[in-house]
Homo-oligomer: A and B are copies of this chain.
Amino acid sequence: MGFEQPIATVDVALFTLREGELCVLLNRREKPPYQDTWALPGGFVHVQEDEDLTGTARRVLREKTRAKVAYLEQLYTFSGAARDPRGWSISVSYYALVPLHALGEVDNTHAMLAPVSSLPSLPFDHSAIIGTAVDRLRNKSSYSSLPTYLLPTTFTLAELKKVYEQVMGGALDRTSFRRNMLAQEVIEPVEGATRGGAHRPAQLYRRKSDQLQQFARVL
């Protein structure tokens, strides 16, 4: 080929909601560079193992977490001579969503959930990757069923509204939210209802499709 090729890696920002707070999974780096510091889970492409980069992202998550990932999407490809001390590098970044209960055990010596509002200092351009991912998540949530992937399979409209509010920042009108969300026809009622206080129990819903649904209009 004749050209010195750049280093190619995949980094994944895995988001979940913990106590109504958007958090991202960080791992302690086992090898240099930046050994022992917190960073996004990532790794090299294994050309023998991985079908494509999405496969690499899945494998990275499988190796570093026990999470049953609900949603995974390519985010952006970061690159340049300066971002990695090992040399000119390409990082194909992905972001993933998972409900907290499906994250599995988090071993606190090797992994942590960091609230996106108070991240530690991170190596490479991982802070920029998380920032870009949060922007994408916020933006895409306003016209899609994306936030449902942060919830268990069944949920009430009140829970769904809270997640949209958390992810997008800012309050939504209860009536309009209900009307719009049902008009989009991305969720459907299921048998059963929650109860848990001195009040009327709420209908449970689930996503109609496993695929991400886009809305015609904005929330």
Contacts and interface: CB of A to CB of B under 8 A. Distances in A.
Interface of A: 1, 3-8, 44-48, 51-53, 74, 76-77, 79-81, 87-88, 90, 92, 217-218
Q: Is the interface of A mostly helix, strand, loop or mixed?
A: loop
Contacts of A92: 77, 79, 90
A44 B218 contact: no
Instruction: Specify how many copies of this chain sit in the oligomer.
Output: 2
State the 5 A-B residue pairs at the shortest beta-carbon distance, nearest first: A52-B80, A47-B88, A53-B79, A52-B79, A77-B77
Counting chain B CB atoms within 10 Å of each CB, the highest count among A53, A90, A217 belongs to A90
A60 to B, nearest CB: 13
A80 to B, nearest CB: 4
Given A52-B80, A76-B74, A77-B77, A90 B8 contact: yes
A3 B218 contact: no
A77 B51 contact: no
Counting chain B CB atoms within 10 Å of each CB, the highest count among A53, A77, A80, A218 belongs to A77
Counting chain B CB atoms within 10 Å of each CB, the highest count among A4, A8, A46, A92 belongs to A8
